[in-house]
Amino acid sequence: MAAPQVGINRRILALNLGDPAGPFTMINPEITWHSDEHKKFTLWDDCLSLPWLMVRVARYESISVKWIDEAGKPQHWEKLNRALSELLQHEIDHLDGVLSTDRACPVKTKTFAGSGSGSAAEDAKAANGQAPSVLLSTAPGTVEASALYAEAERKGTKGPAAPFSFDETIISRAVYESNPSYWNAQVDYFIQPT
Ligand SMILES: [Zn+2]
């Protein structure tokens, strides 16, 4: 986690990546290199400061970082793997006052009906002209489609013809946890719960 998350406005991260290093801090961490801007990967970002939300973001596949350790010694890691790369991009964003919601990213257009979305129930709903079970999204197209479906539901008529494009970017954790395989199918990378 990042110091500003607990009200300390210093450029410090507290990390615990397990054995053998255990907990340690990174002071003044900086990204010194990142992989191709056009080859980012997507994931559902999960933040301690926004525990009720899952946010789809795109991150660099790999980064290199430098920082100062607790003994005042300069340290660096080169070309990190996805897991560490996304974690440090998330944490360093906190130092810059940037939250996952600022990076909410409708990178993939999803077509519901017959999409093989991983959720037969959602596909069936779309085919029947019903709104999918999403509580919150920032994508303008989604809001518009949801409004059309709500209107159709109120009038007791069918909604717009499926398929429709649907960019879910910010969802509640409850929605995510109700069907993780469906949501995980919409991103390039996810962390298996342990
Ligand atoms: Zn966070």
pLDDT tens, residue by residue, 52-70 = 889 989 999 999 999 999 9
CA–centroid distance, 24 to ligand 1, in Å, is 17
The catalytic residue among 61, 86, 91, 168 is 91
Q: pLDDT digit string (tens) for 108-146?
A: 444 443 333 445 555 555 555 554 444 344 444 444 455
Which stretch of DSSP H or E encloses residue 15?
A: strand 12-16
Catalytic residue list contains 91: yes
Reported confidence tier of residue 184, pLDDT bands at 50, 70, 90: confident
| Predicted local distance difference test score (pLDDT) of residue 142 | 47
> Residue ranges of the alpha helices (H) in 57-127?
82-95, 120-127
The whole-angstrom separation of Cα 100 and Cα 58 is 10
Name the pTM for this structure: 0.70
CA–centroid distance, 58 to ligand 1, in Å, is 15
165: left (phi over 0), alpha (psi -120 to 50) or beta: beta
Domain ranges for the chain, please list them. 3-44+58-103, 109-167
CA–centroid distance, 110 to ligand 1, in Å, is 27
For residue 115, what are the contacts with CB-CB under 8 A and spacing of at least 6? 123, 163
Domain spanning 3-44+58-103, CATH architecture: Alpha-Beta Complex (3.90)
Can you tell me the mean pLDDT for 1-10? Answer: 96
Q: Which of 35-49, 159-173, 179-193 has the lowest mean pLDDT?
A: 159-173
Reported confidence tier of residue 104, pLDDT bands at 50, 70, 90: confident
CA–centroid distance, 34 to ligand 1, in Å, is 20
Reported confidence tier of residue 6, pLDDT bands at 50, 70, 90: very high
Can you tell me the mean pLDDT for 41-61? Answer: 92
